[in-house]
Chain A
Amino acid sequence: MLRAALPLLGLPLAGAGATEEPTQEPGSPGEPPPGLALFRWQWHEVEAPYLVALWILVASLAKIVFHLSRKVTSLVPESCLLILLGLALGGIVLAVAKKAEYQLEPGTFFLFLLPPIVLDSGYFMPSRLFFDNLGAILTYAVVGTLWNAFTTGAALWGLQQAGLVAPRVQAGLLDFLLFGSLISAVDPVAVLAVFEEVHVNETLFIIVFGESLLNDAVTVVLYKVCNSFVEMGSANVRATDYLKGVASLFVVSLGGAAVGLVFAFLLALTTRFTKRVRIIEPLLVFLLAYAAYLTAEMASLSAILAVTMCGLGCKKYVEANISHKSRTAVKYTMKTLASCAETVIFMLLGISAVDSSKWAWDSGLVLGTLFFILFFRALGVVLQTWVLNQFRLVPLDKIDQVVMSYGGLRGAVAFALVILLDRTKVPAKDYFVATTIVVVFFTVIVQGLTIKPLVKWLKVKRSEHHKPTLNQELHEHTFDHILAAVEDVVGHHGYHYWRDRWEQFDKKYLSQLLMRRSAYRIRDQIWDVYYRLNIRDAISFVDQGGHVLSSTGLTLPSMPSRNSVAETSVTNLLRESGSGACLDLQVIDTVRSGRDREDAAMHHLLCGGLYKPRRRYKASCSRHFISEDAQERQDKEVFQQNMKRRLESFKSTKHNICFTKSKPRPRKAGRKKKDGVANTEATNGKPPRDLGFHDTAAVILTVESEEEEDSDSSETEKEDDEGIIFVARATSEVLQEGKISGSLEVCPSPRIIPPSPTCAEKELPWKSGQGDLAVYVSSETTKIVPVDMQTGWNQSISSLESLASPPCTQAPTMTRLPPRPRAREEPQAPLKLPLSSDPHSCFAFPPSLAKAGRSRSESSADIPRQQELQPLMGHEDHTHLSPGTANSHWCIHFNKGGRL
């Protein structure tokens, strides 16, 4: 359809601004060539992009203004406001310039404004939900659109025959069918804009939205076919042409989808090899998706379908391949572009409506169209749903149908298509334009305004917004497998059977081909969710600012009898103190009674742990690599300091006994120990320090080259999830029951000498430290809503490094480590202060480890006794190692203790 649009291509606003020009151009052209102008005003050279930028700016500012008032936006959808704004602006422009400017050009719309929106919706489409409802979506998209187009067109023709449409509207049956085809399609932009604010349940949303995306192919075909029929004249249309029309439906839709999938494949394959040029990863996503759009457009296939399929198809692999930062970049850029495009579209729609030269009014036609599109949409939905419900396992009920009928919003696509009509071939174009504008405005404004109350009134099931939980993911997986298994047993090859097949195929071939090996290895959905939860927990843990730590650290060890139920008591504790307002000094003030000691410890923790700028970072500026910003560095710094302090505290508690000083132990002891542990940790010559826990048997902290930590922070390709590597392994000897401190050739009696409280700790000088407290909480972490801590803070620390790892790159040792390692960290980390005033402050065993230990004893024999624990950093980061670049590398091995 858009071939015709191409000649019209041009920036929407180009050629505009004629009004301002003369006033703004001081230099008149008649002058003789001046020598050297100090100041030249070159409006013409920047005019077009300047105006585009200006309009986007206006739209964005308008958006900001709308959202200043929560009340307005909760009642009125943004799209309505933007259209109204567009109307107002258009009126102003019309009044000033005496002619309509800045209209929605079909070329601009289809080539620039539509792709970002479609890409955004395709890429972030919940693919599972989409495919689960694919049957319904396809039915509504194909059958529904055809139905709407033909019935509306035919009914309008009937209306004309009945004499209700003024005779000046010169249109035959074909013209009306053409009009019906362009007005019948539900518009993805409008639907998305409205439904995103309504929050109906996911099934309903995906059906309406999926329909609006997929019906593009049908609309394109219908429009093209009808248009060419009109141009040929109805007398010349032969039977073969109808057949061709039907065939082109398949060509356009399947072709578009195929183009999209091909580009998705290319995209996934490309991102597999971007390891060294991370910075262009987001660009690739946009480029190839846009290429898919343009290619489909070029071949006059369904471009919307192409981009949708491209986004849908590539997401899984791209997300696995690209780095975390690129993922964020893709997400934000996509959302920004889409929202920008959407804003501009609605505003330009409003502006375009002002231009009265383009349209001619006919009440009969307008009212008739309005009635018919509503009526036939509802009728079509009811009929199709009735058929679908015969097959659907979860039938769509009456309320769903009402919302679906009412949610059939028309939008900019219809408008752009009607503008594209050729007036010489379609004499009634002006009437159609007017009708389309009215229909679009009616559906977007009236239906958009009322759909929210309607949904509320009908009590449509809303979608609860919840983050993916581990349980959900887990059980969904299980249920899928159960269903597939049942279908297998029953011998019915249904949906689940084929999905199972597809997943197996994907796992065996596609993923292997399209994913980085490192990404593929750790690729598992459940694990993904788990990983994300961990990071979230860690963030909220940091957000809690160590309060939780101190409380558990101080209470738990004093109740050794509760060790067996350690995690439950921790859970309870967390439940009590999970409010996360630990840094709120008022809370501390009000709840002073029981917490004084804790608060003292807290205060000292904060005082001691405050970041003190010690050195200046060399300013690094690279075009190709993003250096971390100061905040990030600071976080790392803080974390690093904490780690150091923790290590020192280990020294102070343990090494007092074990060694006279915290001198590096003889290397061979370390080697010996390591042999006992496993051969994975190949330290490089540096004398490791072994540190033991009271509870946890032995912890080997191999701290390498602390002194070198001002390493090259601008190291190439460094990601912030690198740095500290924790390896936690259970040694066989420490697994023996009741034996604490397994590797005891070094630390025979791991008792802790409680440090006596210093006098400084007896006071509670937190008042003085108020200003400092905030330092600990990075701006980012404060934004995170505290997760309910009971669920899993025990893993939280384990992913702490991903937030704050020291500015160091990979150590050369890691090349020698097996790729699968490592890392589990001790949750209790920062509380372990050297200053800790509590006499009982032995290192509490982290619940997760406790759990692991206990579970191990419970679970059956085939559960491996030797576990390595979680790798906290993305594996992909480990694979790329540049030996020699890394200096300071902390390798901390925790020897996990036996049961508690």
Chain B
Amino acid sequence: MGNEASYPAEICSHFDEDEIKRLGKRFKKLDLDSSGAVSVKEFTSMPELRENPLVQRVIDVFDTDGDGQVDFREFILGTSQFSVQGDEQQKLRFAFSIYDLDKDGYISNGELFQVLKMMVGDSLKDWQLQQLVDKTIILLDKDGDGRISFQEFSAVVRSLEVHKHLVTVV
């Protein structure tokens, strides 16, 4: 973790000093080996993080450079998307990337299935889930290529206005 005075402006745009300090503390706690970056292993070593089905995905999305670790900059930037001031496009993009496992810019049927599977656990049977996924894809897929692009995704989700709730206090 770098010197707190030298944060790039982009980090500070959504947070004030206090919040960054708090996040820094949290980051230090997560960063067990003090390497300056939190690996997936470190994340999952926290007992409370093991229960939430989507922590893995969230970490994966935080990790923008794809090195399997979340450094402090990524951590701050990731969480900043959830601040009240965060812009809608960003929130939508984040939600989209949660589904987009292979980061190819499309949500495929299988990806949606997997993400939903993480969430519902075993409360739904696979065939039920597959039906859900199929129907969702059909509903969202406007151009008929069988997968969901970000445009298709944001068009529908934006109209539902659920992304507005994608706000939390960090």
Contacts and interface: CB of A to CB of B under 8 A. Distances in A.
Contacts of A487: 168, 170
A811 B15 CA distance: 64
Given A500-B52, A791-B138, A494 B128 contact: no
A490 B94 contact: no
Interface in A486-542: 486-492, 494-496, 500, 504, 507, 523-524, 526-527, 530, 533
B126 A478 contact: no
B110 A868 contact: no
B52 A867 contact: no
Interface string B104-129: 00001110011110011001111110
Contact of B109 (A482, A489, A859): A859
Interface in A458-481: 469-472, 474-479, 481
Contacts of B17: none
A851 B162 contact: no
Nearest to A864: B126
B23 interface: yes
A284 to B, nearest CB: 27
Given A393-B167, A483-B82, A527-B124, A863 B132 contact: no
B29 A483 contact: no
A92 interface: no
Nearest to B102: A860
Contacts of A137: none
B88 interface: no
Interface stretch (A63-71, A565-573, A706-714): A565-573
Q: Name A's interface SS.
A: helix
Interface string B60-103: 00100000000000000011001010000000001100110000
Contacts of A476: 162, 165
A193 interface: no
A870 interface: yes
A471 to B, nearest CB: 6
Nearest to A523: B123
Nearest to A526: B132
Contacts of A795: 131, 135
A8 interface: no
A87 to B, nearest CB: 43
Given A483-B166, A488-B49, A868-B125, A859 B113 contact: yes
B113 A489 contact: no
Interface in B19-75: 23, 26, 29-30, 43, 46, 48-49, 51-55, 57-59, 62
Contacts of A393: 84, 167-169
Given A482-B166, A524-B124, A475 B157 contact: yes
A820 B123 contact: no
Contacts of B120: 524, 526
B124 A478 contact: no
Interface in A832-881: 847-848, 851-852, 854-855, 858-860, 862-864, 867-870
A523 B124 CA distance: 8
Contacts of B151: none
Contact of A565 (B51, B116, B127, B144): B144
Contacts of B166: 479, 482-483
Contact of B115 (A478, A486, A867): A478
A484 interface: yes
A760 interface: no
A483 B168 contact: yes
A869 B29 contact: no
Interface in A537-572: 565, 567-568, 571
Chain A CB within 10 Å, residue with most, of B94, B164, B166, B168: B168
Contacts of A504: 51
A478 B163 CA distance: 10
A479 B165 contact: yes
B127 to A, nearest CB: 4
Given A858-B146, A859-B109, A870-B128, A488 B55 contact: yes
A394 interface: yes
A484 B52 contact: yes
Contact of A474 (B43, B114, B116): B116
A10 interface: no
A530 B94 contact: no
B170 A492 contact: yes
B110 A859 contact: yes
Contact of B162 (A394, A472, A526, A855): A472
A479 B163 contact: yes
B139 interface: yes
A753 interface: no
B138 A482 contact: no
A247 interface: no
Given A393-B84, A490-B170, A478 B98 contact: yes
A485 interface: yes
B168 A494 contact: yes
Contacts of A870: 127-128, 131
A227 interface: no
A121 interface: no
Given A472-B160, A490-B23, A530 B54 contact: no
Interface in A430-448: none
A368 interface: no
A172 interface: no
A792 B137 CA distance: 10
Contacts of A507: 123
A864 to B, nearest CB: 5
A15 B132 CA distance: 61
A399 B167 CA distance: 22
Contacts of A302: none
A794 interface: yes
A792 B54 contact: no
A490 B79 contact: yes
Contact of B139 (A524, A526, A792, A854): A792
Contacts of B144: 565, 567-568, 571
Contacts of A481: 52-54, 119
Interface string A188-208: 000000000000000000000
B139 A791 contact: yes
Nearest to B128: A527
Contact of A858 (B46, B94, B108): B108
Contacts of B62: 489
A851 B123 contact: no
A393 B48 CA distance: 24
Interface in A789-807: 791-792, 794-795
A527 B30 CA distance: 36
B133 A855 contact: yes
Contacts of A469: 139, 160
A486 B164 contact: no
B104 to A, nearest CB: 13
Contacts of A568: 144
18 contacts: A470-B132, A470-B136, A470-B139, A477-B119, A485-B52, A485-B54, A485-B57, A486-B82, A490-B23, A492-B169, A500-B52, A530-B132, A530-B135, A848-B134, A852-B134, A855-B110, A855-B133, A863-B110
Given A500-B52, A863-B126, 6 more contacts: A470-B132, A482-B94, A491-B26, A527-B124, A847-B138, A859-B110
- Give the top 5 A-B pairs by smallest Cβ distance, nearest first: A859-B110, A568-B144, A855-B109, A867-B127, A485-B58
Interface of A: 393-394, 469-472, 474-479, 481-492, 494-496, 500, 504, 507, 523-524, 526-527, 530, 533, 565, 567-568, 571, 791-792, 794-795, 820, 847-848, 851-852, 854-855, 858-860, 862-864, 867-870
Interface of B: 23, 26, 29-30, 43, 46, 48-49, 51-55, 57-59, 62, 78-79, 82, 84, 94-95, 98-99, 108-110, 113-116, 119-120, 123-128, 130-140, 144, 146, 156-157, 160, 162-170
